[in-house]
Structure 1
């Protein structure tokens, strides 16, 4: 009788496969204190990272649990299996399983739906579905989506033909993807050739992180149909929105945006072929991009060839911070009509606004009215024959004068730029100081690093963008494709003068970069938690790292990508502090914060938010800030 294997034994071939990814892993010497907890598999990616830290960092300080917690959660068996697939360039064939087990940010592969729905459907809750043909030729009635894709992490929705050719039909989206994280939503042919009826979006993508929204053909060829967006992408963070063909060839269409992109951070919007060749279009933007941070809005061919257009912008970019706006070919070749900007671009810190081909070649004079017109704007190819009124043209390019004007009017100063406590002076870091704490929440989606053995086999360069998109099933115009190109742009950008930078996609790579800059005697720190965020705090005991001396650090910030990537760079001439954060009422310790003070700000932009908040100029003051959740700073160890 053959001898039986023990329970812990494994066939030699299987054991070899499990060990292949770890043949290069440095094992601990027998005299080294074990660092992998008893009972845990020593061949997982996390176990390897612990051993790698032990080898590369030459001090006995405790290993940073917040960093090790970002290690890949793959089991040893899955690690071996996915490593083999990466070797064969076939990870894309197992993408859903890979994303789930490795804790990655991936959009679901949602197929086309041929499901048909009767009239007057009420969807109370819906998530990650495609509608190939919804509401076509409906007559009368109401379709309602009460909570569509709400409060989820990754949303992928596609409506291909929505209310096409309908008559007197109403559509309602009460809460669309509100409070969700990363969004990729698109409407193709929405309300095309519809007659009458009304489309209404309330709370569309409010408080969303990284919205990616596309309306390809919106209300084209419609007749007397009204569309209303009550709250569109308010309080959103990053992302892009586009309307490719909006109200083209419409007759008497009335479109209204009551609150568009207000209080959003770095959101880009594109309107192409807006109201083109329309007959008596009436569009209203009540509050567009107000209080935004670095908005980028682009209107191309707006109301071109329109007959008797009536367009109104109220509070456009009011109190926004910098950004870049462009209107190209506005009301070109239109016939008569009226276009009003009641409050255009009175920004807290001016951006760049360009108008090209404004009212050009109009058949009859177009009445254009500007009231309270902002700074740093350019007009090209302006139709001289138009009837134009400027009620209050602000031509002072000083951002401080704009801020003073806003304060005199009792208006709120931009919350993104000068959020209380976002920037502060070094003298504030002393025991007993009461100060505001900004919102230090990590707004990025939850992800993990990949093991270096796997990530080293994956494409990551502009020359391999096609392979990258194929790997993650990303179409050319998808949110995934955009996050890839954005990350590549940051990672492939040439370093600034005196800067050393690197994008790292594994903990091993981050350790290597930090030690290459600072040496092997290093420590990494981050603020413990988010308690105290968005409220007043009291500073408790303060400790200066490296004795409070001027030092160099390596700061690492997340980049948005399917797997965890950090942008790490050297930061010279800083002082780093750890401080107890106390509740100002009870004096109880609620957090342990890490703050970094930049002593040389001479190369910073004059429009940097720190100078807006603190009232100074580059090189004149030091600037301090807290390390936000999941960001980190490396220094030499004390």
Structure 2
């Protein structure tokens, strides 16, 4: 018996002492490691040791980068590392993982069990699933005001909402405004409704990467009116999709006004819109104005309809580039009237393609193009007797092109959409210059890197995207999360351009490895803060990195992904500058900027924003720009 006790004591001491020591050190880090101010076993402490080992110059560590390290504690890091080895287990603990590791994850929004017999007025409401909500309502209206505003994400789903209602109205005002990544789904919304209206006013304004889906929206309705006013204005990237919208309707009216204006790279897709409808009326007014590279796709729009009237007024006017595709549009529609007035008058030429437009088995259609823009292709177009073309521009004239070149030579911005100060010439980098400071604010969701021990166990490949979908609850291929993952993987796996080295990194250690592999171990990383963003500044004292010699650097730019992910690539033949930025009126210092000047632009696209702004072409000029907030550049230390 005595021997058994000794064996038990030995077993307990041998196996549990290391664990007790770890717990002990972790619990007293404030007392023992107060000078370090960091538990020596955390991911952040591990990063600091790795930095000291890999970077040889002993310069102060950049707080802006160290702070992006994983906030996980020792215990959390060990626990989630174990879970990462079994993706099913990690997927089951996703909310806890995302919260502890500071990741971008969307909540799983289940069906709403709330019952409302009468009209509702929602304010300050978010992340709900309205299923079979408002069905069969008679008269009245539901109001959604200040819904999901000012957040990081807005995930809401409206399924079978207002179905079979009569004379019922739905009003969405200032919905998802100032939200970073709104994801809204309207599925079979207002189906078989009679009368009433749906009004979206100030919907998804000033957002980043919106993902709006309207599927089978207002199908089989009778006399219902839908209006979209100030929809996705000032938005950045993202897509709007209308699938089987307004199908089999009778006398429906749909109005899009100030839709997607002043937005950057917004895509809209209308598939099966108004198909087999009777007396449908659609108007697109000030749609996509002053945008940058808008993409719109109309497929099987108003096909087989009767007496449809659609008008496009000031559509995509004064936008930069952009493309619209009309495929099988209004085909075999009876008595269709389609009007394009002041459509596609781009500041910089884009492309419009009309394929299988009009035609079919009927011939009483009318198509009018008045003041229509440049560079358009008509294939399998309806009988020309049905169409009228007034003041239609085939392409910019030689005189117009000459005028643009003269304006470029004057040094003034050529393209008004490109933000002033976003690109500039190297000659402006001298003390005393007053220049506009572009909006350099970081508009990405706040996230942290993952520890290497966890990152190494997670898949990162398009061939493993199904595993990533499962882990991050992105099984819906129409969801924002799926699109973020798929797009980032595609960009990371893209073949490098000539002379480029690239790598996507999900940890600071990986970023250090890539930067030092290109530049050596004596390196410095720099970024900028956002003071005075969007206002004019006066350039103060300037420091030329590496003595102003042409060198190479490593630039790292954020990608949208659940954890913090950077696309890093080598940038050859650049000059790097640091400059104090002063208030033009008082001369006081308000910021410290980092600028990169690309000396060789010969491989850049002719439609690059720098050339659209400065009025030149590949290889003809150098191009400079400021580093944006939380982007960074690595260079050899002076």
How does the TM-score come out when normalised to structure 1? 0.92
Post-superposition offset of 1:154: 1.2
* Structure 1, 60-69 or 576-585: larger mean CA deviation: 60-69
1:387-466 superposed matches below 5 A: 387-397=386-396, 401=400, 416=417, 418-466=418-466
CA distance in 2, matches of 1:204, 1:473: 26
Distance change in 2, residues 1:378/1:54 (3 Å): same
Deviation per CA, 1:225-255, whole angstroms, max 9, x where unpaired? Answer: 0011111101111111101111100000000
CA distance in 1, matches of 2:398, 2:82: 57
1:180-219 superposed matches below 5 A: 180-219=179-218
CA distance in 1, matches of 2:401, 2:548: 39
Deviation per CA, 1:280-307, whole angstroms, max 9, x where unpaired? Answer: 1000010111111121111110100010
SS in 2 for 1:358: coil
Post-superposition offset of 1:40: 2.1
Mark the runs of 5 or more structure 2 residues left unpaired by the alignment: 1-5, 7-14, 25-31, 408-412
Report if the CA contact (8 A) 1:574-1:599 is conserved.
yes
SS in 1 for 2:291: coil
**Equivalent in 39, 58, 61 of residue 59 of structure 2:** 61
Show the counterpart of 2:29.
Answer: none
Confirm or deny that 1:80 pairs with 2:78. Answer: yes
Distance change in 2, residues 1:400/1:473 (3 Å): farther
Show the counterpart of 2:301.
Answer: 302
Show the counterpart of 2:602.
Answer: 602
SS in 1 for 2:593: strand
Show the counterpart of 1:553.
Answer: 553
Distance change in 2, residues 1:587/1:220 (3 Å): same
Deviation per CA, 1:525-582, whole angstroms, max 9, x where unpaired? Answer: 111x111211110000000000111000111100100101100111110000000000
Q: State how many pairs are aligned.
A: 610
Deviation per CA, 1:51-76, whole angstroms, max 9, x where unpaired? Answer: 11100011011111111111111111
Mark the runs of 5 or more structure 1 residues left unpaired by the alignment: 3-9, 20-33
CA distance in 2, matches of 1:119, 1:400: 64
1:304-319 superposed matches below 5 A: 304-319=303-318
Show the counterpart of 1:41.
Answer: 39
SS in 2 for 1:46: helix
Report if the CA contact (8 A) 2:546-2:637 is conserved.
yes
Post-superposition offset of 1:360: 2.1
Post-superposition offset of 1:615: 1.5
Show the counterpart of 1:14.
Answer: 19
Post-superposition offset of 1:471: 0.3
Computed over aligned residues only, the root mean square deviation of the Cα atoms, in angstroms, reads 2.2
Deviation per CA, 1:332-377, whole angstroms, max 9, x where unpaired? Answer: 0100121011012111122222111110215133111111222222
Post-superposition offset of 1:403: 11
SS in 2 for 1:231: strand
Show the counterpart of 1:5.
Answer: none
Confirm or deny that 1:159 pairs with 2:171. Answer: no
SS in 1 for 2:515: helix
Report if the CA contact (8 A) 1:45-1:74 is conserved.
yes
CA distance in 2, matches of 1:400, 1:596: 35
CA distance in 1, matches of 2:145, 2:302: 33
SS in 2 for 1:55: helix
1:62-141 superposed matches below 5 A: 62-89=60-87, 90-141=89-140
Distance change in 2, residues 1:605/1:57 (3 Å): same
Show the counterpart of 1:501.
Answer: 502
Distance change in 2, residues 1:537/1:399 (3 Å): farther
Distance change in 2, residues 1:35/1:510 (3 Å): farther
Show the counterpart of 1:591.
Answer: 591
Report if the CA contact (8 A) 2:593-2:627 is conserved.
yes
CA distance in 2, matches of 1:333, 1:91: 53
Post-superposition offset of 1:114: 2.5
Post-superposition offset of 1:88: 2.6
Report if the CA contact (8 A) 1:350-1:399 is conserved.
no
Deviation per CA, 1:97-121, whole angstroms, max 9, x where unpaired? Answer: 1001111000001111132212221
Distance change in 2, residues 1:35/1:633 (3 Å): farther
SS in 2 for 1:515: helix
Confirm or deny that 1:224 pairs with 2:229. Answer: no
Report if the CA contact (8 A) 2:358-2:382 is conserved.
yes
Show the counterpart of 2:340.
Answer: 341
Distance change in 2, residues 1:356/1:444 (3 Å): same
CA distance in 1, matches of 2:419, 2:33: 42
Post-superposition offset of 1:267: 1.5
SS in 1 for 2:124: strand
Post-superposition offset of 1:432: 0.6
Report if the CA contact (8 A) 2:576-2:594 is conserved.
yes
